[in-house]
Chains A and B, each alone.
Chain A
Amino acid sequence: MAASSTWSSSSSLFIPREETLWYYIAILSVLSLLGQELSRCSVLANTADFEGFGDDIDDDDFSDSSLITDLPIRSNLPPSTTLTSQSDFETDHGPPLDSSSSSTPISDPTIPNKPSSNSFDFWDEDEFEGLPIEQKSTNLKSPDVAAEAGSSSKVESDSKVEVQVTPPLPKTLGSFTVEIVCVSFLIAFLFNYFSGKKENENIALAWASRFATKDSIFDKNFSLLGTGDGKDTPLLLKEGQNVFKFYASGRRFCQGMLATMDLQSRHDLMSRIYNMIVPCKDEITFEVYMNDDAMDNVVFALAKKKLAKVMHKELRDLQRFASLVTSGPNNRKWVADELMVITESKEVAGDLITETVLDQVFGDKAFPKFGKGFISMHFSDQYQGSHRKMLILKFALPDAKNMADMTRLVALVPYYIDLIGRYKLSPQARPKTEAARTKVAQEVYKELHNARQEALQKKKAEKRKMAEEAEAKLSAEVLRKREAKDRAKQMKKVMPKVKMTRAH
């Protein structure tokens, strides 16, 4: 079985389906691009070998000629790498300088370039394009003197030629700024990934060891702990580097409970930097799936004032059934000032916020001490989700060292499972809640009915369009025949009915 599953996962990469076909095409295109780039590189590298092909022969042939002595001497040294104001690929070189101008430094802008007639005759723009202009320390000899002088004078003149060549600039650290920054960021990212991952795991394990191990609160309340169905199964299910889940089942009044730890993305350096600017907390959400017969008509929520208003606006069940409550019933002891209750009726609020809860967590005295991590509570029999009857409790997680701080908050989970499991509405409150539910059910039914009608109308409209299109396609003759038939039918209808009787 395991082998087949691994085969199916691996085969999905090799057998092209609709989505994977595009994936393979993309891979091929990228590989072809890579091949093209590499081939271009090799071609450019090879062309460098052919540069100056047959230079020696040409130089020997032209050395005796007296006509081209004015041309600048080509050297085997590499061209100067001094930058010019022109771009690299738009060169506009003029003809070479004559003997008089070549002796003067190039940097002098006052002397104009005056090419001699004989040098201009041999100037080929294409061939000499991009050649560096070389400076000579002494004036070149005239053709007559050059002819008279022997081989010794030739050597002397050659030794006097100086070519200005600047060596290639050495690469400094400044030229690799982008690379240094990016590589160092990647290294930091890698280190942070492992350290952040470990940090998150420590928090999750600290919570599990405190509340989900042997003789802990969940062990005493649930018969099955962990996501597996065996004995030695892991307690926590790791869904991501920052999401851990704990499941428990086998308890009265409920089908099961799922605790989801949504921690900060400590493993992600970018998220960590963002969290430094915009701080956020590690959260744990308890979702209790209640039995259908165990929960009465209850829609109730408790949260900090700001969040309570947001919840009332956004959550469908609270929007439809509940309203914000500012004060407690019959001026009795009530929740801390920071908190706000959203409930269907004050009776429900009074019954669910008991004296015990106020003393332990939600009271004015207890809340600053023990309710620091409290975020929200939401109990509903009309929850819009996979399960209808739900209890959702949300708390902030403390550090791994201070996990004991949330003991009282975690104790609220089994307490409210039992409280709501046993809770029954009074005969006075029940009719109101049931009326509200029937009203909502009717609204939902109407919405569905309207949606169905709209769908039917759309279908009819589409059919009409199709029929019209088909008619438009029909030829003129067929249309004439149809019209004739229609006329005949109408005539028959209009004609008076005559009864024929036979005379015997």
Chain B
Amino acid sequence: MSSHGGNSSAANDPRQPSTAKPYVPPAVSPQELPIDYAGFIAVIFGIAGVLFRYKLSSWVAIIFCAQSLSNMKNIETDLKQVSMAMMFAIMGLVSNYFGPARPGTQRG
């Protein structure tokens, strides 16, 4: 079924080196890129962790940051959102563990 036999003559050879064109990757605009849901969720949880002082929220933000980083395709466009999420998550953890205790709770 293959269009090219094992010991075919030059006349039957489907290859045409003269028509060969090098690969040009298609230009993809940032709008066409798929939405980075993990990065977005990480930012949301990170902000929640900082504002409401929830440890779990900051940890979840860190996990979603890891997911976003692992699925990153275009560093130029994706890195900003991930770095923002990472900063908020780390900020939340710092304020939760090293900051003063939240009123109404005992510092463990």
Contact = CB atoms under 8 A, between A and B. Distances in A.
The answer on A and B forming one complex is: yes
Interface of A: 9, 12, 19-20, 23, 26-27, 30, 33-34, 37-38, 40-41, 44, 87-89, 171, 175, 178-179, 182, 185-186, 189-190, 193, 217, 220-224, 226-229, 237, 239-241, 243, 247, 249-252, 255-256, 258, 265, 267-270, 356-357, 360, 386, 408, 411-412, 414-415, 417-418
Contacts of A175: 108
A252 B25 CA distance: 22
A454 to B, nearest CB: 23
A186 B19 contact: no
A221 B3 contact: yes
Instruction: Kindly name the residue among A171, A228, A357, A414 whose own CB sees the greatest number of chain B CB atoms within 10 A.
Output: A414
Interface residues of B, number: 44
B66 to A, nearest CB: 5
A343 to B, nearest CB: 21
Contact of A30 (B3, B87, B99): B87
Interface string B45-82: 00000100001100110110011001111001000100
Contact of A250 (B4, B20, B60): B20
A186 B1 contact: no
B19 A411 contact: no
Contact of B16 (A41, A252, A270): A252
B104 A88 contact: yes
By DSSP majority rule, is chain A's interface helix, strand, loop, or mixed?
helix
16 contacts: A23-B84, A37-B99, A182-B56, A224-B17, A224-B20, A227-B25, A250-B15, A250-B18, A250-B20, A251-B14, A251-B15, A251-B19, A252-B14, A256-B23, A414-B4, A418-B3
A268 B70 contact: yes
A84 B43 CA distance: 38
Contact of B94 (A26, A34, A189, A220): A34
Given A415-B2, A418-B14, A223 B59 contact: no
Contacts of B56: 178, 182
A33 B91 CA distance: 8
Contact of A414 (B2, B17, B25, B100): B2
B19 to A, nearest CB: 6
B73 A179 contact: no
B1 A229 contact: no
A411 B35 CA distance: 36
Nearest to A414: B3
A417 B1 CA distance: 12
Instruction: Kindly name the residue among B56, B70, B88, B98 whose own CB sees the greatest number of chain A CB atoms within 10 A.
Output: B70
A20 B77 CA distance: 11
A186 B14 contact: no
Given A185-B63, A414-B4, A250 B16 contact: yes
Contact of B23 (A41, A179, A217, A237): A237
B1 A411 contact: yes
A26 B84 contact: yes
Contacts of A179: 55, 59
